[in-house]
Amino acid sequence: MTDLRPRYAERAAPERARPRGRDRGPGSTVPGMSSPSRRRVPLDTPERLAEVLTAALDVVAEVGYERFNMDLVAQRAHVSKGSLYQRWPSKAHLIVAAVDANRVEVQAPDTGSYLGDVRELAKQWLRTEAPGDRRGLLLALLEGSRRDPELARLMGEQLGQGGISPMSVVLDAAKARDELPPGVDLELLGELPMSLAITTLLFRDQPLNDALVDRIVDGLLAPLLGQRDHNR
């Protein structure tokens, strides 16, 4: 192996002899400062902003809310921590912004029946949901909302800004068609499919797929409501 120590010593000697304050050259950095590549990356372009927010989601899904910090996102997205704090004052603000930016809106279907609408809505959500570690992200959000009042407040505000949910539209249509039995709690009925999906994901660690949707619709909702999906 070639010994590089003599050449390094020859190059290092003039460096020690430089006067203080002399220009270090365009490729050098001052101790304690970020490298130029991280310091000069703009966040004002949609593409770059999307990269940072996606990186934030990936990080929080991997490490959880407690271990999540701006340093990890800065390393993953190749941006300075100062740039992150200029836009988001806390990790809670960054995470909520990332969740909102990566949320895909779905439209309420109109198949002509409640069971058909629920089936199509759930499968539409599965097809359009952003890829990633759903289980890790959900666990991180639940953990963080329990421990950090700021995250809980911001998540609540975000949910409140969603307007009328597609499931509410489906339930209103089913009620107008007289498909639902008298006295049924529409709020609980609307939350049931998603609650079962979350339980399957968190506690059974099983994938969310079309087969699970069919089980919920055909094996639970249809018998409970005394209906069957005529579109099947």
pLDDT per residue as tens digits for the range 181-207: 999 999 999 999 989 988 888 888 777
Tell me the per-residue pLDDT of 47-82, one tens digit each, with 9 for 90 and over: 999 999 999 999 999 999 999 999 999 999 999 999
Find out whether 61 and 133 touch, Cβ atoms under 8 Å: yes
Q: What local confidence, expressed as pLDDT, does residue 161 receive?
A: 73
Note the pTM of the prediction, 2 decimals: 0.70
The crossing angle, in degrees rounded to 10, of helices 166-176 and 114-128 is 170
Residue 117 makes CB contacts below 8 A (sequence gap 6+) with: 108, 109, 110, 111, 170, 173, 174
Q: How high is the pLDDT of residue 33?
A: 37
CB 56 within 8 A of CB 95: yes
Query: What tokens appear for 64 in the block?
Result: 């959880």
Tell whether domain 35-102 is in CATH 1.10.10.60. yes
Which residue spans of the chain are classified as CATH 1.10.357? 114-225
Mean pLDDT across 149-155: 96
Query: Of the ranges 18-32, 80-94, 169-183, which one carries the lowest mean pLDDT score?
Result: 18-32
Within the chain, all domains assigned CATH 1.10.10.60 are found at 35-102
DSSP-assigned letter for residue 104: -
In the chain, beta strands by DSSP E: none
> Cα angle at 173 between 169 and 105, to 5 degrees?
25
**Rounded mean pLDDT, 126-145:** 82
- From 1.10.150, 1.10.30, 1.25.40, 1.10.357, which CATH number describes the 114-225 domain? 1.10.357
